[in-house]
Every structure is written in structure tokens, then in C-alpha cells.
Amino acid sequence: MVPSGLVVPAATFVVALAVLLVASDAFVSAAERLGLAAGASPFIIGATVVAGGTSLPGVGAAALAGRAGAVSFFHLAPAAAPFVR
């Protein structure tokens, strides 16, 4: 049983998770149709979706951190390049 103070957050979580699952399925289906219509192979379509899905959270976090005034790795990367091996 969920404590009374957590009913709304728990319900919000369940609804948001359901929306995420439906939206992600629609996104992947649309990406597949677009890629196949453009003549791309299914492997390239899948690799592109996976690459975007793994990269966008980091880009979003860096953008939000930058707006908050924090320094992100993306700002330091050109200056740090000579020291990274």
C-alpha cells in the first residue's frame, strides 16, 4: 500500500511511464518508416536511434548546466584536448 502522501506522486509516475512507453514506440516506428522511405538500411536506422537516445541526455544535461552557470565538459574539451591521451 502506498502511504497517503505519496499517492499523487506515485500515480503521476505511473502515468508518465505509460506515456513514455507509448511515445517511444511511436518515435521508433516513425524513425523506421522515415529511414526506410529514404533508403537507409534497418541497421543504420537502429544505430542512429540508439546513438541519439544515448547522446541526447548528456547534451540536455550540459545545456541545462550551462544555463544555470555551471561549466560543463563541452566548454573544457578544446582546452583539455592537448592533455587527453
Can you give the residue range of the structural domain that contains 79?
A: 4-83
Q: What is the DSSP letter of 68?
A: T
Residue 82: pLDDT band by 50, 70, 90 thresholds? low
Please give the residue that has the higher pLDDT: either 53 or 18.
Answer: 18
Q: What is the pTM of this model?
A: 0.61
Residue 7 CB contacts under 8 Å (≥ 6 apart), including other chains: none
C-alpha cell belonging to residue 78: 578544446
Q: How many domains does the chain have?
A: 1
Element of type H or E holding 67: helix 42-67
Residue 42 CB contacts under 8 Å (≥ 6 apart), including other chains: 32, 35, 36
Residue 83: pLDDT band by 50, 70, 90 thresholds? low
